[in-house]
Structure 1
Amino acid sequence: MANKRQMTFEANENVLCFHGPLLYEAKILKTDWRVLDPPHGDEGPVYLVHYRGWKQTWDEWVPESRALKMNEANLAKQASLKESYPGKKKAVPKTSGATESSDRGKKRAKDTSVDKEEEFTKRPEIKVPIPDSLKAQLVDDWENITKHQQLVPLPRTPNVVQILDMYRDSKKDKKGCSDEIFQEVLSGIKTYFDKCLGNLLLYRFERQQYVDIRKRNTGKEDSEIYGGEHLLRLFVQFPMLIAHTQMDQDSINALRENLVDVLKWMQKNHKELLLSEYENASPAYQSIVKS
């Protein structure tokens, strides 16, 4: 068994840390040695990290596999992840010869943006912790698509609708799982998925596949075509999506409890729900994407 002297990082060290599929700057607050996989008794180093610019409520213990040294190569990897992640907004280039009037308009727009940001930061915060094994799935998902130029074979079985039905069936005999909130949450997950997939949940390399599959399945919703891999990406986006609603704290707490339970169930059944291997994109497909 390894010992504590083999820990890669030290307290107060600045690192890059995976949170979902992206890398963020973080500082190690504490180090420890714990059982990482209780059923098997495997032990290893863990680190309490604080993400730079994030509230302390996001501080968390992470295994060593989620932390990277702060160096040029890993900073480049961070930039590459951010660039290829779905939902990234392109910067609007500045135009030369702007008039004084347009400058005033930009200032007013900026003031409005600041007001909206202040309003956003005052809203209740929701934190949806994703199990480490599913975080590893998200990282593999990104690498398969953006680095290895592979794709999730579509249509998926089980698809998102089927996955949510499977989860509902698994809760039938449990107290409180037939109530209105439970049903609304599952309906809401499907609705969010159908609204977000095309705009927020696809990597650039997948967009042509999306165009092609929609042409062949015009009578179906995205939740009837895509599966657990893309559903998992939605859970990464939920904190941001919920923050832009007008939900009160009690409603957010109830929603969070249900989302966490779905993730735990997905973790338990990941072999049935998530792919272990993706398919290679054809040379013709790669040519179309590059063009």
Structure 2
Amino acid sequence: MTKTSKTLFTENEKVLCFHGPLIYEAKVLQSDNVAAKGFQYFIHYKGWKQTWDEWVPESRVLKWTDANLEKQKTLRDLHSKKKAEKIATSGERSTEQKSTTRKRSRDTAEDTEEEYMKRMEIKIVIPDVLKGQLVDDWENVTKNQQLVTLPRKPNVTQLLHQFKKENTTKDKKEEQQVEEVIAGLKLYFNKALGSMLLYKFERHQYADIRKRYPKKEMSDIYGAEHLLRIFVQLPSLITYTNMDSHSIQILKAHLGQILDYMLKHQKTLFMNEYINADPGYVSLAKNN
């Protein structure tokens, strides 16, 4: 089987899956590799009737990990908070206003869900070769119990700096856009690494790195292997920004350029072989 034909999820695998603005426990019933769309998965949501079973793109399915369970909880709490705020706001108005507000709230909720589903269609196209890189990365860490050597060289900061240098332009506006995208991507990476991007087996390594380099940003420690993972998460992260559709299209274009750069320099940016974790580390990882 070639890298481009590998699937991230297997049949009967317990997963998490986006439906609307929230994430639910689910199971993969079938998978299909559609040439124009990539892998699609037929999902059953736990506790839901079979009539809700549906085909979803790979971008909506998440591995069952502590980080993604935390993400599920965060989104659920945020959704509950917004609902509570709406109820509190409507409670301050008169009966007549309440009636109008309830109607508008329903309309707004429908509009919000419709807009959300449109935003869920945000797709960052990861080249097939880099998808294979992601699968190999997952297998190395979760199945083979191996780790990325840290600190990485080049690290994320250096990688993005070299990308910018290789893609210089005389267009001042575009140059500013690239700088903003790079700054935003670094910010997302530093914030998301510990909560979304690590596999469970890597958490002791991460804790050790934070102790060894307390004053350094993680984008100065980690490299292409972990940066690539964030492109899987970005569609859902972008959904919760206030960016308009034009800004999203500009962002997608520049993110696509970064992925093309990573593909072009794959041999120098990514590790050829991961390191084997020592028995003591493996024991700690299993017991926590």
User: Could you state the TM-score of these two structures normalised by the residue count of structure 2?
Assistant: 0.66
**1:212 aligned counterpart, secondary structure:** helix
For residues 38 and 169 of structure 2, what CA distance do their matches in structure 1 show? 39
Letter in 2 for 1:182: V
Aligned to 1:83: 64
Map residues 43-192 of structure 1 onto 2, 5 A cutoff: 51=40, 52=42, 53=54, 82-84=63-65, 86-89=67-70, 120-123=116-119, 125-173=121-169, 175=171, 179-192=175-188
Map residues 32-47 of structure 1 onto 2, 5 A cutoff: none
Cα shift readout 1:68-115 (whole Å, capped 9, x = no counterpart): xxxxxxxxxxx9x833484244999xxxxxxxxxxxx9xx88x99x95
Letter in 1 for 2:256: V
**1:87 aligned counterpart, secondary structure:** helix
The structure 1 residue matched to 2:197, chosen from 185, 196, 201, is: 201
Letter in 2 for 1:210: Y
Aligned to 1:36: none
Letter in 1 for 2:206: Y
Letter in 2 for 1:155: P
For residues 190 and 71 of structure 2, what CA distance do their matches in structure 1 show? 23
Q: What is the deviation of 1:136?
A: 0.4
- Taking a change above 3 Å as real, the CA distance of residues 238 and 133 of structure 1, as seen in their structure-2 partners, is same
Letter in 1 for 2:63: K
- Taking a change above 3 Å as real, the CA distance of residues 213 and 48 of structure 1, as seen in their structure-2 partners, is closer
Map residues 217-236 of structure 1 onto 2, 5 A cutoff: 217-236=213-232
Letter in 1 for 2:148: V
**8 Å CA contact retained: 1:172, 1:178:** no
Aligned to 2:247: 251
For residues 90 and 127 of structure 1, what CA distance do their matches in structure 2 show? 20
Letter in 1 for 2:68: G
- Taking a change above 3 Å as real, the CA distance of residues 217 and 181 of structure 1, as seen in their structure-2 partners, is same
For residues 126 and 188 of structure 1, what CA distance do their matches in structure 2 show? 18
Cα shift readout 1:195-237 (whole Å, capped 9, x = no counterpart): 1000000000000110011100011001011000000000111
Letter in 2 for 1:262: I
Letter in 2 for 1:134: L
For residues 240 and 48 of structure 1, what CA distance do their matches in structure 2 show? 18
**8 Å CA contact retained: 1:156, 1:227:** yes
**Unaligned runs of at least 5 residues, structure 1:** 1-7, 9-16, 30-45, 60-78, 93-104
Letter in 1 for 2:228: L
The structure 1 residue matched to 2:208, chosen from 205, 212, 221, is: 212
Letter in 1 for 2:286: K
- Taking a change above 3 Å as real, the CA distance of residues 49 and 271 of structure 1, as seen in their structure-2 partners, is closer
1:263 partnered with 2:251: no
- Taking a change above 3 Å as real, the CA distance of residues 49 and 234 of structure 1, as seen in their structure-2 partners, is closer
Give the percent of matched residue pairs that are identical in Structure 1 and Structure 2.
Answer: 45
Aligned to 2:47: none
For residues 275 and 39 of structure 2, what CA distance do their matches in structure 1 show? 37
Letter in 1 for 2:129: S
- Taking a change above 3 Å as real, the CA distance of residues 249 and 90 of structure 1, as seen in their structure-2 partners, is closer
Letter in 2 for 1:83: W
For residues 247 and 194 of structure 1, what CA distance do their matches in structure 2 show? 21
Q: Which has the higher helix share?
A: 2
Q: What is the root-mean-square deviation in Å for CA atoms of aligned residues?
A: 3.4
**1:179 aligned counterpart, secondary structure:** helix
For residues 148 and 39 of structure 2, what CA distance do their matches in structure 1 show? 34
Q: What is the deviation of 1:288?
A: 1.2
For residues 196 and 122 of structure 2, what CA distance do their matches in structure 1 show? 19
**8 Å CA contact retained: 1:161, 1:190:** yes
Q: What is the deviation of 1:253?
A: 0.4
**1:146 aligned counterpart, secondary structure:** helix
How many residue pairs get aligned? The number is 221
**8 Å CA contact retained: 2:68, 2:196:** yes
